[in-house]
Amino acid sequence: MTAVGPPQEAQASDEFFRMCREERLTECYPDVAGLLAGISGPDFLRAGQFLGRLDPEAVLRAHPGTVALTVAVTGHGTLAPLVPVLTAELARHGMLLRPVVSAFDSYVFDLADPGSALYAAEPDVTLCVLDPMTVFDEVPVPWRPADVEQCLAAKLAVIEGIVATFEATSRGTLVLNTIPLPHRFSAQLVDHRSRAVLGALWREANAGLLRLAEGHPAVVVVDLEPLIAEGVPLSDPRLSIYTKAYLSPDLLALYAREVGHLARALVGRGKKCLVVDLDGTVWGGVLGDDGVDGVEVAESYRGEAYRAFQQTVKQLGSQGVLLAVASKNELSLVREALRDRRDMTLREEDFVRVAANWRPKHENLAELASALNLGVDSFVFVDDNPYECGLVRELLPGVTVVQVDGDPALHVGKLVRDGWFDTRELTAEDSTRVEKYRDELVRKDFLDSFDSVQDYLTELKVQVRLGPVAERDVPRLSQLTLRTNQFNLTTQRLQQPEVRALLGDPDRLVLSVHSSDRFGDNGLVGAVFARRDGEHLHIDNAVLSCRVFSRGIEQAWLAALLGHARAAGLTAVYGEYRPTAKNGIVAGFYPRYGFTEAGPADGGGTLFRHDLREPVEIPDHVTLDENITGGRA
């Protein structure tokens, strides 16, 4: 079989615009993401303009599984140019944009009034785009730094009020941004001392904006300074003066890229595992030819570039990204290199698995996905070999492939450019994820030593703790709803404010599921969201980490919940299942435990009912500690 490489830009553009001419974009929307991966520059913007003409509802009728996001766009200046590139960025990640664009300079009216049209649209994400003229339009002429300081303070106060109103009104995410300082304003101060004062005041105000995210979980602040550092202009003087578009199209494109990364994380499409090749990717040279001491990893012209790449990979791994190796090499040599080269940044213990053999890499990736109980669409694969990259693209299309070229100095930029592992917030679980997944592979080896699964489960000594949610658990519960795709009965994605709102509702029951076994503590692995409705209990959703499938944990919490309902004098428990492309593993969950089909659910999917006559038993191999007195600790 001949491997296909990444689509050449001309080929991808030709195919996309052929779809446009033939009016097949709606029909072929699932193919758009792959084509956009090979399109850049003006063609990418053109693609967004064509995509923006689609009827989102028609796309959803043709492809019901498509993730659609309602995104409100408001700000001080003209922002219409942002919409096409934002449309393309979301489409590149397989999502569909429903834009709600406000009038010029209406952000205060939109966001300070709970009854505004913006809030009525119930956006999932609200972009409040701030630009330098947000401040300088209100600075008197002539001006001194003290005048700017006064305006900055007033703007921060307004924005803080907007944040408070937003959190009280909206269930979505508010995206703010730092405000870059144009040279044309600082240059209007002829003395360097005043310029320094202005720079300090401006940066202090931006620091205040960035800190808003610390105390407000619904707020994300995009820092524009690193984007401008990529070399794009802050503004176009003519567009700024004539059309009131105060941020350049190139800067808005980079901003849209960052929003695309955020949107992907918000809908649970962030990546979880980074798999790297070795020869030509992690180090220079060929291990089998050059030997352990001959490969380049540091302290040479190219070796320093490889060290920078290794440091980046290690940094990602330290924040919960699972690291693995897929290399055509002898395993013993690879282990020797990772263990004995003192200048090697990455070590064997940094990886959950090192697959070094002569098998096709797509087979190693598929096997790793199975061992970790992850979908291949959770993987990012980095390799310098076009053939290997093309083969993985063709045979495992769900894997995100990052092809690095012969210059190792460019490896880091290509890896981090698209924010594949971006998340809203790190949790305590993230810092121990690698160890937990490594333990999981030990459990699988332990399983292989038994003749039956039941014997394995008995010796595994599973313990489950089901109980109320503590405040410290809120980020992890939100993360579970956002990132869990397989054991997720209704795929309701909850941001932290939404979790807290459920905890504060006396008719709601929110429970956390912790587990441990003979190999250690698995941590907070699941959550149950239910509500009391008269004599009935409705399970709105339940999620369980893919790390702990098939150990009886789900049966244990369900048995406890049904027992709680029966003891409370309720007459039935209802549960809903909404099918997605990834949660088929739980399609039979409710019938397996005595629920009967009760018709279609209001939000789509199927409703199931348990009449509480026959109890569900806690598995013999599970020790359960339950405390279902309420939803919050």
Assess whether pLDDT exceeds 80 at residue 633.
no
pLDDT of residue 155: 96
**Looking at residues 558-580, what average pLDDT do you find?**
92
Percent of the chain with pLDDT over 90: 70
* CA 14 to the chain's CA centroid: 30
Q: Do the Cβ atoms of 328 and 301 come closer than 8 Å? A: no
d(CA 113, CA 110): 6
pLDDT tens, 237-249?
999 999 999 999 9
b/e for 537-559, b at 16 or more Cβ within 10 A? bbbbbbbbbbbbeebbbbbbbbb
Assess whether pLDDT exceeds 80 at residue 369.
yes
Assess whether pLDDT exceeds 90 at residue 582.
no
| Band (9; pLDDT cuts 50, 70, 90) | low
| Band (3; pLDDT cuts 50, 70, 90) | very low
| Band (6; pLDDT cuts 50, 70, 90) | very low
Question: Would residue 211 be called left, alpha or beta, if left means φ above 0 and alpha means ψ between -120 and 50 degrees?
Answer: alpha
What is the 8-class DSSP label of residue 5? -
pLDDT of residue 632: 46
Of 107-111, 281-285, 352-356, 450-454, which gets the smallest average pLDDT? Answer: 450-454
pLDDT of residue 439: 74
**Looking at residues 305-312, what average pLDDT do you find?**
96
Of 84-88, 342-346, 520-524, which gets the smallest average pLDDT? Answer: 520-524
**Looking at residues 432-445, what average pLDDT do you find?**
74
pLDDT of residue 285: 92
* CA 217 to the chain's CA centroid: 15
Assess whether pLDDT exceeds 50 at residue 4.
no
d(CA 230, CA 235): 14
pLDDT tens, 597-627?
999 988 778 999 999 999 999 999 999 998 8
pLDDT of residue 8: 58
* CATH architecture classification, 67-266: 3-Layer(aba) Sandwich (3.40)
Q: What residues have CB less than 8 Å from 154, skipping those under 6 apart? A: 138
Residue 63 DSSP SS3: coil
* CA 334 to the chain's CA centroid: 32
Q: Do the Cβ atoms of 302 and 283 come closer than 8 Å? A: no
pLDDT tens, 469-485?
988 899 889 988 988 88
**Looking at residues 127-142, what average pLDDT do you find?**
96
From 3.40.630.30, 3.40.50.300, 3.30.930.10, 3.30.450.20, which CATH number describes the 432-626 domain? 3.40.630.30
Q: What residues have CB less than 8 Å from 344, skipping those under 6 apart? A: 283, 297, 298, 310, 337, 338
pLDDT of residue 519: 82
pLDDT of residue 2: 37
pLDDT of residue 402: 94
pLDDT of residue 630: 56
Check whether domain 273-416 has CATH 3.40.640.10, yes or no: no
* CA 247 to the chain's CA centroid: 27
| Band (442; pLDDT cuts 50, 70, 90) | confident
Assess whether pLDDT exceeds 80 at residue 73.
yes
The residue type at 506: P
pLDDT of residue 450: 72
Does the bond joining 142 to the residue before it have cis omega, within 30 degrees of 0? yes
pTM of the model: 0.81
**Looking at residues 264-275, what average pLDDT do you find?**
90
CA atoms in the 13 A half-sphere facing the CB of 16: 29
| Band (309; pLDDT cuts 50, 70, 90) | very high
Assess whether pLDDT exceeds 50 at residue 262.
yes
Give the residue from 508, 500, 506, 509 showing the smallest Cα distance to 475.
500
> Between vectors from CA 495 to CA 480 and to CA 580, what angle results, nearest 5°?
55
Residue 558 DSSP SS3: helix
Assess whether pLDDT exceeds 90 at residue 174.
yes
**Looking at residues 486-495, what average pLDDT do you find?**
88
pLDDT of residue 1: 34
Assess whether pLDDT exceeds 70 at residue 334.
yes
Would you say the CATH fold of 432-626 matches that of 273-416? no
Assess whether pLDDT exceeds 60 at residue 202.
yes
Percent of the chain with pLDDT over 70: 98
Does the bond joining 180 to the residue before it have cis omega, within 30 degrees of 0? no
Residue 536 DSSP SS3: strand
The pLDDT mean for the chain works out to 90
Which residue is associated with the tokens 């435990």? 593
Assigned token pair, 524: 């907070």
Residue 353: strand pairing partners? 324
**Looking at residues 532-559, what average pLDDT do you find?**
90
**Looking at residues 90-99, what average pLDDT do you find?**
94
Task: Domain ranges for the chain, please list them.
Answer: 1-65, 67-266, 273-416, 432-626
